[in-house]
Amino acid sequence: MIFYHKMLKSIKKMDFITPYIKNLQIDKSKFLEPSPIIQQRCQELIIDDKTTLKLMDLVLHEVNRGLSKKENKDADIKCYVTYIQDLPNGKERGKFLALDLGGTNFRVLIIHLKGENDFEMQSKIYAVPQNIMLGSGEQLFDHIAECLANFMREHNVYAERLPLGFTFSFPLLQLGLTKGLLVRWTKGFNCEGVVGEDVVQLLKDAIARRGDVQIDVCAILNDTTGTLMSCAWKNHNCKIGLIVGTGSNACYVEKIKNVENWDGPPSDKTHVLINTEWGAFGDNGVLDFIRTEYDREIDENSINRGKQIQEKMISGMYMGELARLVIYKFTKEGLLFNGVDSESLRKRFLFFTKYVSEIESDKPGNYTNCMQVMDELGLTNVTEQDCANVRYICECVSSRAAHLVSAGIAALINKMDEPSVTVGVDGSVYRFHPKFHDLMMKRIRQFVKPEISFDLMLSEDGSGRGAALVAAVACREEGRV
């Protein structure tokens, strides 16, 4: 805390009226500036240095509450114990299956680990139809079991009994490495009869109902944990996992002595992986001071109203819709497109998040992608000034997301207080947005203690390979490989 207060004291001497266009590192000489009224109206989307420090304090406070036995119940950042205490060391060997469920598609993988950085992997993507996403839990897990059986048959391991890691990227209360209770559905899922149940047992039950394949579920984890494990296999300095995609979450390595809510058997290990589930940060109202009318509208029209507040300000599931709401409002007020909208612009979620990345990928002075997006939305008579304004709106929305994420990561790095930390990152927003990585690097460096070095490492198939690696490490610790 002393570090934060010292930094705040020095930042108070700075001039906060610096135009945000400078903060975004835009070379104003190369293309049209956004109009002054657009810049003014977008100010509420800007997270300045003082706000970043406040966010870091709030994150740290909620993380400590989540780790507390007494306060965990009321904490927004739950800090679930994963019971993963060992990271990959490169000596893992053997064949492992992995299931990866976390969105409208899920994957089945088979991975053959042959040594450090040497592996073979095959996978297949299966759809999760809308009726199953909103149906019963039995339907969901029967569908997963059927796809798993088909995959094993196709890859000639139908008769083998293989260890399996299960990536289940929804909030889980873990009671052990192979037992996790679903806390709530997110990402558009709402299957009946699963909340409060052990999802590993539901998977086992579905496989037993089939009676044609055998597996050993060695671990349940989420995609954030998988990302950390996958990166740690290549870079043993990786101690934080981050997802910025359809959803957003982070996990990190914490000292056992700080984990009051540890509910497992006594351990002689010194650290454990903590799944923060920080997407729910702000559910108690602490982020209301930076939420806008656009954030509130998204929340009001969501299936989980009042929940996952930070995630709705960051993730790819909502970023395009946030931009659309701003653009649509400004159009109705005559600030864009001469006040003429289109049917597509009026419809929710038709301004895709990929549009934000495409628009920001245009080179300075070029509006080719922006014009194409506007055409796809049925907007006509779009001027270059409109494009400059739309790009600025997109930059404000995406930069706010990057700065929110960066505040949380900087707070975790400072809390860990290690000399050097690598952050493994996955997710479509981080992977495909042209500026997200650079925005994060700059903002984290600004707020991490100067003596700490850090890096951001793009995960390669973390949620899939990471699940297999958790299973492999579990088998290694049991002496099975």
Segment holding 466, helix H or strand E? helix 462-477
For residue 341, indicate whether it is catalytic: no
Q: How far apart are CA 387 and CA 258, in angstroms?
A: 50
Beta-bridge partners for 166? 99, 220
CA distances from 271 to 113, 254, 256, 259, 374 (A): 25, 6, 5, 9, 51
For residue 223, indicate whether it is catalytic: yes
Contacts of 17 (CB under 8 A, 6+ apart): none
Of these residues, 76, 142, 198, 223, which one is catalytic? 223
- Secondary structure, 3-state, 44-105: HHCCCHHHHHHHHHHHHHHHHHHHCCCCHHHCCCCCEECCCCCCCCCCCCEEEEEEEECCCE
Segment holding 446, helix H or strand E? helix 436-447
Picking from 387, 394, 336, 393, the residue whose alpha carbon sits closest to that of residue 364 is 387
Of these residues, 78, 100, 142, 187, which one is catalytic? 187
- Give 431-445 as a DSSP string: HH-SSHHHHHHHHHH
Burial of residue 300 (CB within 10 Å: 0-12, 13-18, 19+) is: exposed
Check residue 22 and give left, alpha or beta (phi > 0: left; psi -120 to 50: alpha): alpha
Q: What backbone phi and psi angles, to 5 degrees, belong to 221?
A: -155, 175
Picking from 426, 433, 368, the residue whose alpha carbon sits closest to that of residue 395 is 433
Instruction: Compute how many other C-beta atoms are within 10 angstroms of the C-beta atom of residue 43.
Output: 10
- Give 245-303 as a DSSP string: SSSEEEEEEEEGGG-TT--SS--S-SEEEEE--GGGTTTTSTTTTT--HHHHHHHHTST
Beta-bridge partners for 180? 174
| Type of residue numbered 253 | V
Residue 341, classed as helix, strand or coil, is coil
Q: How far apart are CA 184 and CA 186, in angstroms?
A: 7
Question: Which positions are catalytic?
Answer: 187, 223
